[in-house]
A and B are shown apart, each in its own frame.
Chain A
Amino acid sequence: MATSTTTWEKLGFRKAFRVGEAGWGHTLWVALVSFIYFLPVLIIVITSFKVQNEALSVPAKFFPTSFFGLIPEQYVFTPTLENFTSVFSRAFTTGGAVESTGFDRYFFNSMFIAGSSVLLALVIGTLAAFGFSRYPLKGNDTYLFIILTTRMLPAIVVIIPIILMFRIVGLSGSYPGIIFLYTAFNLPFTIWMMKSFFDELSLDVEDAARIDGSSELRVFFKVCLPQVVAGLAATFVFGLILTWNEFLFALLLTGADTRTVPVAMNQAVAGGGIGVLWGLLAAIETLFLIPVFLVTFFLQNHLLRGVTFGTVKR
């Protein structure tokens, strides 16, 4: 790539940009599209700074300041941090009785459960994907197909036996139960994704390592794994996003102590006697978005540079 460009430049053919590059004009255009796409999220974030009657006002108030009188007063709201403080400290009232929101606990639960189950699925799934890719079993495709079908059923089908099963073993409402379940929930995705990454790696490098006397373990850890780091990052992010926001299993299988944020959020929606508290809900969602947003942002480099590894043809 680099050589071809320099040759071109030596010959005097200078392009404005190399192939696949664009300038600020493109940025402007993409920024517009991205902003429109992001708008619903932005409104959630804005709503989290509003008190209830400003959230419900007609016409909708979009702007926190009037920008020195530039924006008509009717579109301006006064930002408040009340919602954020009440997520953690102030108890909110549900039909008279005052009870604590307990969202600090729920945030910890979400983080712990999602993090550990995604990592567990990544370890187990990567091993399995490597196996499926390099040492095909008899009826390999059948196994992969069965693994995929487990992802296809509506969750409700398996959930009834799982509830019964957990009750017998004493796992219902406990951390190991839901973590184990989420691991299974993430596995099909992990296996299929990681297998596609392993499939595209060059076998020559591995064979060279074997000829040089590497054991199979060493080939896996020193040759294959470093080449799919980007794939691991991508799979981790996908799994995290899916698990972080999973609702149905969490609703039916977590107890009061292990409840995750989406479930608690749903109860905050359903439980309020005076309708949905939009500001509070928006604040919860904004806080809930931040960790997964940051993880995605920091793994994005891996995601972007790396996803190429999965598909580069030999």
Chain B
Amino acid sequence: MTTTVIQSTPSSLTTLAPDNWKLAIIGGLGVSILACLALPATISFWIVALMVAIVAAAFVVNAYRRHYYGGLLAAPAIAVLFVMNIFPLLWSLGLSFFAYQSNQQTIRFVGLANYSKLLTDDLKAPELWANLTNTAMFTVLTVSVQMLTGFLLAVLFAKQFPLRRYLLILVLTPMMLSVVAVGVFFSYYYDPTFGIISQVIKAWTGEQFILFSSKTGAVAGIVFADAWMWSPFVMLLVLAGLVSVPTYLYEAAAIDRVGSWRRFWTITFPYIRGLLMLALLFRTIEAFKMADLIILLTKGGNDTMTISYHVIRIANEQNKTSEGAALSYLLLFVVIVLTNLYLYIANRRSQGN
């Protein structure tokens, strides 16, 4: 099977071959359009799906014959993501240019009015800005607490000691709880009358303690719950890095009497940097989307509204679908800028070494 000569027959438009994707596209498009025009929507939908499958098959055969394995391997993943993420994204981009409410039948093209309303309206713009600042605050606070706690826990578990695996699973447990349970039970712990934290403080100071009575308290409560739940995630990734450092490096450093600070920066840190960045990225993304804990703990009271909860409220509770879509596109823009910044920094770092 040593085919040194790569078959590069120029597939002209007219040859009927399984790898002729150009013909497949043209034929598929034609049949789809005809089906859409002639048949009812429910049948034509499946015909269009079939045509898409045929085109995809042509691409696959073509890629395989040309040894284009990269595309071949990535294709299923990209297809799933396209159907479930990118296509809905484009759909909601379209929706953001219309005036559409999910509880009404009317739909009307309004252009950029949704966006301009959000950005310039006297009532909505300050609210949006406040929610964005809140989100930024929550993101910075939770992620930094998580990174710090996770790192310290990982350092604690980096050594080999008796009963290690049993203790490790205890620390990992918060991550496995459902958000609903964490939210509900933290509101149980924070409760002014029967909550454990309030009881302890009451026994200490003698007066009733209501955590959510101030913004600081509410933010602290939410950040604490979120950081408690997700620090183990950071810990696991950092631990992966710490465990992978070959011990002979430390032994060599010990012989050379290298100080512990320098030992950390020159030996340990290069090993965990990649994973630390990965943890940072994933936690930042999740923190940016944080809504469920806030819904369960404060319901956005005490000025703890985040942008993502705001979107849910507009789109789901107030049924302003298109306005929600417009808002989420503003959000997407912010996220893309942030991620690009992150990737730029990460790439520059890795090229520097």
Q: Which of A235-263 contact B (CB under 8 A)?
A: 238, 241, 244-245, 247-248, 261-262
Chain A hits for B272, CB < 8 A:
311
Q: Does A105 contact B (CB under 8 A)?
A: no
Interface flags, B282-293, vs A, CB<8A=1, else 0:
100100110110
Query: In the bound complex, what is the Cα–Cα distance between A30 and B162 (angstroms)?
Result: 10
B289 CB contact (under 8 Å) in A22, A141, A155: A155
Interface flags, A296-314, vs B, CB<8A=1, else 0:
1100110110011111110
**In the complex, what's the smallest C-beta–C-beta distance from A102 to chain B, in angstroms?**
17
Q: Does B11 contact A (CB under 8 A)?
A: no
Query: In the bound complex, what is the Cα–Cα distance between A234 and B172 (angstroms)?
Result: 13
CB distance B84 to A184 under 8 Å?
Answer: yes
Q: Which of B124-150 contact A (CB under 8 A)?
A: none
- Whether A161 touches B77, Cβ cut-off 8 Å, given contacts A26-B159, A153-B335, A311-B241, is no
Give the interface residue-count category, chain A. Answer: 35 or more
* Residue with the greatest number of chain B CB neighbours at <10 A, chosen from A1, A44, A131, A293: A131
- Whether A27 touches B163, Cβ cut-off 8 Å, given contacts A156-B312, A180-B80, A184-B83, is yes
Chain B's closest residue to A141 (CB) is B343
CB distance A162 to B160 under 8 Å?
Answer: no
- Whether A312 touches B170, Cβ cut-off 8 Å, given contacts A19-B250, A128-B73, is no
A158 CB contact (under 8 Å) in B85, B153, B251, B292: B85
Chain A's closest residue to B160 (CB) is A21
CB distance B199 to A160 under 8 Å?
Answer: no
A124 CB contact (under 8 Å) in B80, B228, B240, B241: B80
Chain B hits for A185, CB < 8 A:
84
**In the complex, what's the smallest C-beta–C-beta distance from A18 to chain B, in angstroms?**
7
Query: In the bound complex, what is the Cα–Cα distance between A188 and B77 (angstroms)?
Result: 9
Q: Does A87 contact B (CB under 8 A)?
A: no
**In the complex, what's the smallest C-beta–C-beta distance from B226 to chain A, in angstroms?**
13
Query: In the bound complex, what is the Cα–Cα distance between A159 and B92 (angstroms)?
Result: 9
Query: In the bound complex, what is the Cα–Cα distance between A44 and B173 (angstroms)?
Result: 12
Q: Does A65 contact B (CB under 8 A)?
A: no
Query: In the bound complex, what is the Cα–Cα distance between A262 and B183 (angstroms)?
Result: 12
**In the complex, what's the smallest C-beta–C-beta distance from B222 to chain A, in angstroms?**
15
CB distance A303 to B236 under 8 Å?
Answer: yes
Q: Does B174 contact A (CB under 8 A)?
A: yes
Chain B hits for A12, CB < 8 A:
none
| Interface pick from B26-34, B54-62, B114-122, B185-193 | B185-193
- Whether A40 touches B189, Cβ cut-off 8 Å, given contacts A161-B88, A308-B240, is yes
**In the complex, what's the smallest C-beta–C-beta distance from B192 to chain A, in angstroms?**
11
Q: Does B328 contact A (CB under 8 A)?
A: yes
| Interface pick from A56-64, A78-86, A202-210 | A56-64
Q: Does B81 contact A (CB under 8 A)?
A: yes
CB distance A281 to B184 under 8 Å?
Answer: yes
Chain A hits for B285, CB < 8 A:
151-152
Q: Does A288 contact B (CB under 8 A)?
A: yes
Q: Does B123 contact A (CB under 8 A)?
A: no
Interface flags, B81-110, vs A, CB<8A=1, else 0:
101111111011001000000100000000
CB distance A34 to B171 under 8 Å?
Answer: yes
CB distance A153 to B73 under 8 Å?
Answer: no
**In the complex, what's the smallest C-beta–C-beta distance from A159 to chain B, in angstroms?**
8
* Residue with the greatest number of chain B CB neighbours at <10 A, chosen from A21, A124, A137, A196: A124
Q: Does A68 contact B (CB under 8 A)?
A: no
Q: Does A71 contact B (CB under 8 A)?
A: no
Query: In the bound complex, what is the Cα–Cα distance between A163 and B83 (angstroms)?
Result: 13
Q: Which of B165-201 contact A (CB under 8 A)?
A: 165, 167-181, 184-186, 188-189, 193-194, 196, 199
Query: In the bound complex, what is the Cα–Cα distance between A111 and B87 (angstroms)?
Result: 28
CB distance B84 to A181 under 8 Å?
Answer: yes
Q: Does A67 contact B (CB under 8 A)?
A: no
Chain B's closest residue to A150 (CB) is B85
Query: In the bound complex, what is the Cα–Cα distance between A288 and B164 (angstroms)?
Result: 25
CB distance A157 to B328 under 8 Å?
Answer: yes
Chain B's closest residue to A127 (CB) is B73
CB distance B88 to A245 under 8 Å?
Answer: no
Chain B hits for A244, CB < 8 A:
176, 178
Chain B hits for A91, CB < 8 A:
none
CB distance A189 to B282 under 8 Å?
Answer: yes
Q: Which of A4-19 contact B (CB under 8 A)?
A: 4, 18-19
| Interface pick from B17-25, B64-72, B212-220, B297-305 | B64-72
**In the complex, what's the smallest C-beta–C-beta distance from A304 to chain B, in angstroms?**
7
Chain B's closest residue to A193 (CB) is B278
Q: Does B211 contact A (CB under 8 A)?
A: no
CB distance A24 to B178 under 8 Å?
Answer: no
CB distance B173 to A1 under 8 Å?
Answer: no
26 A-B residue pairs with CB within 8 Å: A24-B161, A27-B163, A31-B163, A34-B170, A43-B196, A47-B188, A128-B76, A152-B332, A152-B335, A156-B308, A157-B92, A157-B325, A161-B95, A162-B84, A164-B91, A183-B80, A185-B84, A192-B278, A216-B69, A247-B179, A265-B178, A285-B181, A288-B181, A289-B176, A308-B243, A310-B244
What residues make up the interface of A, taking CB atoms closer than 8 Å to B? Answer: 1, 4, 18-24, 26-27, 29-31, 33-35, 37-38, 40-41, 43-44, 47, 56-60, 124-125, 127-128, 130-132, 134-137, 140-141, 143, 145-162, 164-165, 168-169, 180-181, 183-185, 187-189, 191-193, 196, 216, 234, 238, 241, 244-245, 247-248, 261-262, 265-266, 269, 276, 278, 281-282, 285, 288-289, 292-293, 296-297, 300-301, 303-304, 307-313
| Apart from A4-B251, A147-B78, A307-B239, 13 more pairs, CB < 8 Å | A27-B167, A60-B196, A124-B80, A135-B71, A150-B86, A156-B311, A156-B312, A156-B315, A165-B88, A168-B45, A187-B80, A285-B178, A313-B271
